Amino acid sequence: MRLIVGVDGSEDAMTALEAVTSRARETGDEVTVAVYSHNDSTADVEHTVREQLLAADFDASVMTLEDDPAGQLVDIAETEGYDRIVLSGGHRSPLGKIQLDSVLEFVLLNAHTTVTLIR
Amino acid sequence: MTTQFPDEPVTGFSGPPREFTDAEGREITVREVTSNDTEALVQMYVEFDPTDRAQGIPPSTETAIRKWLDVVLSEDALNVVGVHEGRPVGHVMLVPDRHGAYELAIFVLQAYQGAHIGTELVRTALGLAQREGIECVWLTVERWNTPAVALYQKIGFERTGDASFELEMSLRLAPDG
């Protein structure tokens, strides 16, 4: 399978990426990491992602999504024939509520590609 | 999260302990939670109707409820409980975020909903927060939960964000004086 994994640099997203790569190692899935940020520092997130991939010794392609990451994720997944979009399934608020950010909501509502949320 | 807070503080909240009669004529005592309340709160959440969960809380198993209450009842959080005939029927929590503001949530047992207990509990918790010198309180609520949104608005919360499934609402308290 070809997976595109959206990573925003949050702790949850990095944990999700780790889960994806360790699973892909067994299944042989092809992984593309789509890096985006909520505060303009895509380069920092990309750096963190590349370090984690290197440390895990996992071969994945990395792309950055600058504007409208949600729209781009949906679009790229469709036009480039990915089988699945993978995202981390929401953050926890201080008192434990699950919070789904706007990227996640847009992708869930608009993707024709199957979406997996990792919690 | 970068929460916006209204410029104007909301005033008029009284802290615990308080007593009031709910719309069904039940005598409710509102007081701060103590460590003696933990087991009774666990019991309240075990009995909680799953359809009234909000964004994954309270959790559904007793083990997960205990773990969650550890966070909610931590020393730097504020907790107020509504008690009827010796057992908790509603619980408001204020848990600090990383920016010096506090996230608020409330749960009321099904049999006690619709009797203005929620409003009184939240108002009392805000009185406690003001007494403790807290100025900024926020919460999230599911968009479709219009009764809750109306309740929070009546108390003085303003809608400050709706970028996602949840609405964000916030309120500024006056410095205690």
Share of chain B above pLDDT 90, in %: 80
In chain B, positions 9-48, which contact chain A (CB-CB < 8 Å)? none
Q: Is residue A2 part of a domain?
A: no
Q: Tell me if B31 sits within 8 A of B81, measured CB to CB.
A: yes
Verify whether the Cβ–Cβ distance B165 to A95 is below 8 Å: no
The DSSP bridge partners found for residue B20 are B28
* Domains identified in chain A, total number: 1
pLDDT tens readout for residues A72-109: 999 999 999 999 999 998 778 899 988 888 899 899 99
Range of the domain at B97: 18-172
Other Cβ atoms closer than 10 A to A19: 15
CATH number at residue A52: 3.40.50.620
pLDDT tens readout for residues B115-166: 999 999 999 999 999 999 999 999 999 888 888 899 999 999 999 876 667 8
Q: Which of A94, A96, A105 sits opposite B165 (nearest CB)?
A: A105
Nearest CA to CA, how far is B55 from chain A (Å)? 5
Q: Is residue B177 scored above 70 in pLDDT?
A: no
- Contact of B72 with chain A, judged by CB distance below 8 Å, is answered with yes
Instruction: Give the residue on A whose Cα is nearest the Cα of B96.
Output: A94
Across chain B, the runs of DSSP E, i.e. the strands, are: 18-21, 27-32, 78-84, 87-96, 102-108, 136-142, 158-161, 166-172
* Domains identified in chain B, total number: 1
Helix (H, G, I), strand (E, B) or coil at B66: helix
d(C-alpha B123, C-alpha B152), whole Å: 10
* Residue of higher predicted confidence among B84 and A67: B84
The DSSP bridge partners found for residue A92 are A98
Range of the domain at A62: 9-118
State the average pLDDT over residues A32-45: 90
Q: Is residue A1 part of a domain?
A: no
Q: Is residue B78 part of a domain?
A: yes
- Contact of B105 with chain A, judged by CB distance below 8 Å, is answered with yes
Q: Is residue A27 scored above 70 in pLDDT?
A: yes
Q: Is residue B67 part of a domain?
A: yes
CATH number at residue B126: 3.40.630.30
Query: What pLDDT is stored for residue B142 in this prediction?
Result: 86
- Contact of B95 with chain A, judged by CB distance below 8 Å, is answered with yes
Contacts B33 to A, Cβ<8 Å: none
CB burial of residue A84 (10 Å; 0-12, 13-18, 19+): middle
State the average pLDDT over residues B73-81: 96
Q: Is residue B92 part of a domain?
A: yes
Q: Is residue B75 part of a domain?
A: yes
State the average pLDDT over residues B8-27: 95
Q: Is residue B145 part of a domain?
A: yes
